[in-house]
Structure 1
Amino acid sequence: MSAGSTGSPDGRVPAADQAPAPETLPRGVVVLLGTGAAVVTAAGVRSFAEIVGPVFLALVLTIAVSPLRRSLIRRGVKRWLAGLIALVVVNAFLLGVAAMLAYSVAELAGLLPTYQDKFAELVADTRAWLADRGVGQDQLQAALQKFDIGKFVDTLQGWLSGLLGVVSLLAFTVAVLFFMGIDATDFSARLKQAAQVRPDVIAALTGFTRGTTRYLIVSTVFGLIVAVFDVAVLYVLDIPLPWLWGLLALITNYIPNVGFFIGVIPPALLALLDQGWATLLWVIVAYSVINFIIQSVIQPKVVGDTVGLSTTLTFLSLVIWAWLLGPLGAVLAIPLSLLVKALLLDAAPSTHWLAGLISGGPVPEDAPPAAPAELPPDEVPAEQVG
Structure 2
Amino acid sequence: MPDTPQKDWPDASRLRIALWFLGLLLAIVLIFVMRIAGIVLVPIVFAVLITLLVAPLDRCLKRLLPGWLAWGAHLLVMLVLIASLTLLFGALYFAAQQAIEALPAISDEIDALVPGQGADDREQTSELVHTLREVWGSAGSRLGEWLVGKATSIATGAATMTGAFLSALLIVFFIVMLALTELPRWSAKTADLLSPRDLKAWDTMKDVIAMRLRRFLLVRTGIGLIQAALYAGWLALFGLDLLVVWAVLTFVLTYIPNLGSLISGILPVLYAFLALDPVTAFWVGVGIFAIEQVVGNLIDPLLQGHQIVLSPTVILVSLLFWGWLWGVAGAFLSTPMMLCLLVACLHVPALRPVSLFLSNQDDLESLDAALGR
TM over 0.5: yes
- 8 A contact 2:356–2:364 mirrored in 1: no
**Deviation at 1:241?**
1.9
1:19 corresponds to which residue? none
Query: Alignment partner of 1:120: what SS?
Result: helix
Please give the root-mean-square deviation of Cα atoms over the aligned residues, in Å: 3.3
- 8 A contact 1:73–1:82 mirrored in 2: yes
Which of the numbers 105, 124, 131 marks the counterpart of 2:96? 105
2:209 corresponds to which residue? 208
TM-score of the aligned structures, taking structure 2 as reference length: 0.79
Structure 1 Cα separation of the partners of residues 137 and 367 of structure 2: 61
One-letter code of the match for 1:31? W
Structure 1 Cα separation of the partners of residues 153 and 367 of structure 2: 56
- 8 A contact 1:61–1:90 mirrored in 2: no
Structure 2 Cα separation of the partners of residues 222 and 115 of structure 1: 31
1:194 corresponds to which residue? 190
- 8 A contact 1:62–1:90 mirrored in 2: no
- The structure with more helix, counted as a fraction of residues: 2
2:8 corresponds to which residue? none
Query: Alignment partner of 2:115: what SS?
Result: helix
Q: For the structure 1 residues 116 and 142, does the alpha-carbon distance in structure 2 shift closer, same or farther, using more than 3 Å as the test?
A: closer
Structure 1 Cα separation of the partners of residues 340 and 30 of structure 2: 14
Q: For the structure 1 residues 202 and 324, does the alpha-carbon distance in structure 2 shift closer, same or farther, using more than 3 Å as the test?
A: farther
Structure 2 Cα separation of the partners of residues 257 and 164 of structure 1: 28
- 8 A contact 1:191–1:202 mirrored in 2: no
**Deviation at 1:57?**
2.7
Residue 54, structure 1, aligned to residue 43, structure 2: yes
Residues 302-346 of structure 1: per-residue CA shift (max 9 Å, x gap): 434423321211111111011101122112210122334455x24
1:8 corresponds to which residue? none
Unaligned runs of 5+ in 1: 1-22, 369-386
1:329 corresponds to which residue? 330
Percent of matched pairs sharing the same residue = 24
Q: For the structure 1 residues 39 and 295, does the alpha-carbon distance in structure 2 shift closer, same or farther, using more than 3 Å as the test?
A: same
Residues 45-72 of structure 1: per-residue CA shift (max 9 Å, x gap): 2112233223323333333334433443
Q: Could you tell which deviates more after superposition, 304-313 or 225-234?
A: 304-313
**Deviation at 1:260?**
1.2
**Deviation at 1:224?**
1.4
- 8 A contact 1:219–1:253 mirrored in 2: yes
1:180 corresponds to which residue? 176
One-letter code of the match for 1:62? T
- 8 A contact 1:234–1:283 mirrored in 2: yes
**Deviation at 1:285?**
1.6
Q: Which has the higher contact order (CA 8 A, sep 6+)?
A: 1
1:1-386 equivalences under 5 Å are 26-76=15-65, 78-124=69-115, 136-137=132-133, 139-140=135-136, 143-144=139-140, 146-149=142-145, 152-153=148-149, 156-157=152-153, 160=156, 163-187=159-183, 190-191=186-187, 193-195=189-191, 197-198=193-194, 199=198, 200-201=201-202, 203-300=204-301, 302-342=303-343, 345-346=345-346, 348-361=348-361, 363=363
Structure 1 Cα separation of the partners of residues 170 and 77 of structure 2: 13
TM-score of the aligned structures, taking structure 1 as reference length: 0.76
Q: For the structure 1 residues 178 and 301, does the alpha-carbon distance in structure 2 shift closer, same or farther, using more than 3 Å as the test?
A: same
- 8 A contact 2:227–2:250 mirrored in 1: yes
- 8 A contact 2:356–2:367 mirrored in 1: no
Q: What is the number of equivalent residue pairs in this alignment?
A: 342
**Deviation at 1:155?**
5.9
- 8 A contact 1:54–1:172 mirrored in 2: yes
- 8 A contact 2:223–2:300 mirrored in 1: yes
Q: For the structure 1 residues 97 and 338, does the alpha-carbon distance in structure 2 shift closer, same or farther, using more than 3 Å as the test?
A: same
Structure 2 Cα separation of the partners of residues 163 and 270 of structure 1: 20
Residues 258-301 of structure 1: per-residue CA shift (max 9 Å, x gap): 11111122222222233322321222122211111112333135
Q: For the structure 1 residues 322 and 146, does the alpha-carbon distance in structure 2 shift closer, same or farther, using more than 3 Å as the test?
A: farther
Query: Alignment partner of 1:312: what SS?
Result: helix
- 8 A contact 2:98–2:245 mirrored in 1: no
Query: Alignment partner of 2:143: what SS?
Result: coil
Unaligned runs of 5+ in 2: 1-11, 369-373
Structure 2 Cα separation of the partners of residues 177 and 294 of structure 1: 34
Q: For the structure 1 residues 24 and 83, does the alpha-carbon distance in structure 2 shift closer, same or farther, using more than 3 Å as the test?
A: farther
